């Protein structure tokens, strides 16, 4: 779920500003009465909404189709998903602000995505990575998303002893 939501959310947000800049409509948007923070929120919301909907579909498929038991709280999993998606949207907006064209934003997204997936611990355990690489894993939001997903799906709520 982490890889899919990161890919879709980051691509949607990374390409939105770059597409506007390439078409020349971003300058028109900047001269409107909107403040820059309102423009950023407007560019971030579609990616965030799409990411939450996509995560919801994956959760439903995991529980009902693949019979993965959901041991923990839905509130916890959605709080983790929203925080993860905020980080993905932020990275996507940063990539789009650095890109002049749509192709640059696409390549920039993949330049972030591949190391993020490798360093997240989804393919290989982080404990098996060299110490220097383990320190790099703290910089990818997918690491934390996978920790939350594994804990909520497999471990369930923590009970005090």
CA atoms within 13 A on the CB side of 104: 14
Query: Considering the chain, what is the average pLDDT of its residues?
Result: 88
Q: How far is CA 110 from CA 53, 64, 116, 128, in A?
A: 22, 32, 9, 24
DSSP assignments along 134-157, one per residue: HHHGGG-HHHHHHHHHHIIIII-P
Tokens of 87: 């980080």
Least confident of 21-25, 37-41, 85-89, 130-134: 21-25
**pLDDT higher than threshold 60 for residue 11:** yes
Determine the pLDDT at residue 157: 66
Query: What is residue 132's predicted lDDT score, i.e. its pLDDT?
Result: 92
**Per-residue pLDDT reduced to its tens digit, 33-84:** 888 888 889 889 999 999 999 999 999 999 999 988 888 889 999 999 999 9
Could you tell me which residue, 104 or 34, shows the higher pLDDT? 104
Give the CA distances from residue 2 to residues 54, 60, 126, in Å, rounded to whole numbers and listed in that order. Answer: 10, 15, 16
pLDDT of 69? 86
């Amino acid at each position: 779920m982490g890889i899919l939501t990161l890919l879709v959310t980051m691509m949607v947000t990374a390409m939105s500003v770059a597409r506007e800049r390439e078409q020349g409509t971003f300058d028109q948007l900047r001269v409107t009465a909107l403040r820059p923070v309102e423009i950023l929120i407007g560019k971030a919301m579609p990616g965030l909404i799409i990411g939450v909907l996509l995560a919801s579909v994956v959760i439903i498929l995991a529980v009902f189709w693949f019979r993965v038991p959901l041991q923990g709280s839905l509130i916890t999993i959605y709080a983790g998903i929203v925080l993860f998606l905020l980080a993905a949207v932020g990275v996507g907006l940063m990539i789009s602000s650095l890109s002049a064209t749509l192709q640059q934003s696409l390549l920039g997204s993949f330049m972030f995505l591949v190391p993020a997936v490798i360093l997240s611990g989804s393919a290989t355990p982080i404990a098996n990575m060299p110490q220097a690489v383990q320190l790099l894993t703290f910089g990818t939001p997918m690491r934390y998303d996978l920790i939350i997903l594994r804990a909520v799906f497999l471990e369930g709520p923590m009970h005090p002893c």
